């Protein structure tokens, strides 16, 4: 099974000679997880030489002794040892898998002077967000697909009709991939958060005759091709290394390529944050205040599904302005409300078991408030 998997990973490689000859140095950390031998095998399948290992974090260890929180998405603190290794070894790119190796983080050393307000720069290093990694992988995969299918330049107006090609992202991810699809001519599909939804939707699209090239969610989860229908940090790390190698061949940094993408598709900024709350009644009260104003209990009794109340949706009292900016769109996937649909019913699946409310503002800002339950 493992050999078959890596055979399919190898099929994702497009520039093996360049990979084999590159002078670009990579540092890899498994974050005390299982990824190292598999990431190394993926690199070998692409023709790369061995990457540099963060030795302190290479072996699986359930105590995660070198990090406060073993999640590469946390950025600076989680990647401190990787940065130290890269500085010592003269490497310019860092790859980090989370402990079960299904997600991928990327950091890059910058030139001496860099002006990039859209990127979080930690000292001399840019730590890319999941959205940034996602759109860069999407762009690279798209260019390779076009080159392999007789379209190395601009697509013609009938491209979408002639080639049923799709990419997917979760509802809470950046809207940049959607914009890329509009410019380039491929299909874009949005799903609920999680690869349960992304992977199943990809299979649904393929049953309808579409080719799904890529899917991602902002929490550094990426699905490259059809090797697996889930987020996969192993195939992703090899593909991103090849992408960086092609840029290096032209004398370009990964971050500089991202700047060019902003010029082409528009400037997209994203930010994620969270509050920790273990008291469900408090969580429910906060979200219901957003929906129904100061006294939601007077409108909807406990245990009553709001959409079954004859006063729905008239009792909804969502904010009409946020930060002084008018709200132009609201989608609430908990109670099943979409302000733009004629019947007010969302296209995406709804669930009363968790909270998820999205807003679009007049200035183009789009944000989602949601609950996320994690183990531990």
- CA-wise closest residue to 231 among 239, 242, 220: 220
Q: What is the pLDDT of residue 306?
A: 53
Instruction: Check residue 132 and give its pLDDT.
Output: 98
Average pLDDT, the chain: 90
Domain spans of the chain? 2-128, 280-370
pLDDT band at 74 (very low <50, low <70, confident <90, very high): confident
- pLDDT tens-digit series, residues 43-60: 999 999 999 999 999 999
Pick 153 or 188 by higher pLDDT. Answer: 188
pLDDT band for position 344 (50/70/90)? confident
pLDDT over threshold 80, residue 87 = yes
Q: Stretch 70-96: mean pLDDT, rounded?
A: 94
Structure tokens at 325: 């900016």
Superfamily of domain 2-128: Alpha-D-Glucose-1,6-Bisphosphate, subunit A, domain 3 (3.40.120.10)
**pLDDT above 50: residue 304:** no
The pLDDT tens digits of the residues spanning 269-294 come to 998 888 999 999 999 999 989 998 87
**String of b and e for 207-240 (b: at least 16 CB within 10 Å)?**
eeebbbbbbbbbbbbbbbbebbbebbbbbbbbbb
Rounded to an integer, the average pLDDT of 137-164 is 78
- pLDDT for 161 beyond 70: no
Q: Report the predicted TM-score, pTM, of the whole model to 2 decimal places.
A: 0.89
Q: What is the rounded CA–CA span in Å between residue 197 and residue 201? A: 6
**Closest to 118 (Cα-Cα) out of 253, 271, 222, 221:** 271
pLDDT above 70 covers a percentage of the chain that reads 88
Q: Render pLDDT for 170-225 as a digit per residue (tens, 0 to 9).
A: 999 999 999 999 999 999 999 999 999 999 999 999 999 999 999 999 999 999 99
The answer on pLDDT for 7 being more than 90 is: yes
Quickly state the pLDDT bin for 303 (edges 50, 70, 90).
very low
Residue whose C-alpha is closest to residue 348's, from 215, 200, 192, 202: 192
> Is the previous residue joined to 173 through a cis bond, with omega within 30 degrees of 0?
no
Q: Which of the two residues, 297 and 106, has the higher pLDDT score?
A: 106
């Amino acid at each position: 099974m493992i050999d078959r998997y890596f055979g399919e990973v190898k099929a994702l490689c497009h520039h093996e000679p360049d990979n084999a000859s590159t002078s670009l140095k990579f540092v890899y950390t498994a974050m005390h997880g299982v990824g190292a031998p598999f990431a190394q095998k993926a690199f070998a399948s692409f023709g790369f030489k061995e990457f540099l290992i963060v030795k302190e974090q290479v072996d699986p260890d359930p105590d995660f002794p070198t990090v406060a929180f073993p999640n590469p998405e946390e950025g600076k603190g989680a990647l401190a040892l990787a940065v130290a290794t890269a500085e010592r070894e003269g490497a310019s790119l860092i790859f980090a898998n989370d402990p079960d190796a299904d997600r991928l983080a990327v950091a890059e050393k910058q030139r001496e002077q860099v002006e990039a307000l859209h990127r979080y720069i930690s000292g001399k290093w840019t730590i890319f967000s999941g959205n940034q990694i996602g759109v860069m992988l999407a762009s690279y995969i798209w260019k390779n697909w076009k080159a392999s299918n007789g379209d190395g330049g601009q697509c013609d107006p009938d491209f979408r009709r002639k080639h049923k090609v799709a990419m997917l992202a979760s509802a809470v991810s950046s809207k940049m991939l959607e914009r890329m699809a509009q410019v380039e001519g491929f299909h874009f599909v949005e799903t609920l958060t999680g690869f349960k939804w992304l992977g199943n939707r990809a299979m649904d699209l393929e049953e309808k005759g579409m080719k799904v090239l890529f899917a991602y969610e902002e929490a550094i989860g990426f699905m490259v091709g059809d090797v697996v229908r889930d987020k996969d940090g192993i195939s992703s790390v090899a593909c991103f290394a090849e992408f960086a190698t092609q840029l290096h061949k032209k004398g370009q940094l990964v971050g500089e390529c991202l700047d060019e993408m902003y010029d082409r598709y528009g400037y997209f900024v994203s930010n994620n944050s969270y509050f920790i709350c273990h008291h469900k009644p408090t969580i429910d009260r906060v979200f219901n205040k957003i929906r129904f104003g100061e006294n939601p209990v007077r409108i909807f009794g406990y245990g009553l599904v709001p959409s079954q109340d004859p006063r729905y949706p008239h009792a909804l009292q969502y904010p009409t302005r946020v930060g002084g900016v008018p709200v132009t769109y609201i989608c609430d996937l908990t109670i099943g409300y979409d302000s733009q649909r004629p019947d007010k019913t969302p296209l995406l699946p709804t669930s009363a078991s968790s909270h998820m409310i999205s807003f679009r503002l007049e200035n183009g800002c789009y944000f989602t408030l949601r609950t996320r339950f994690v183990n531990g």
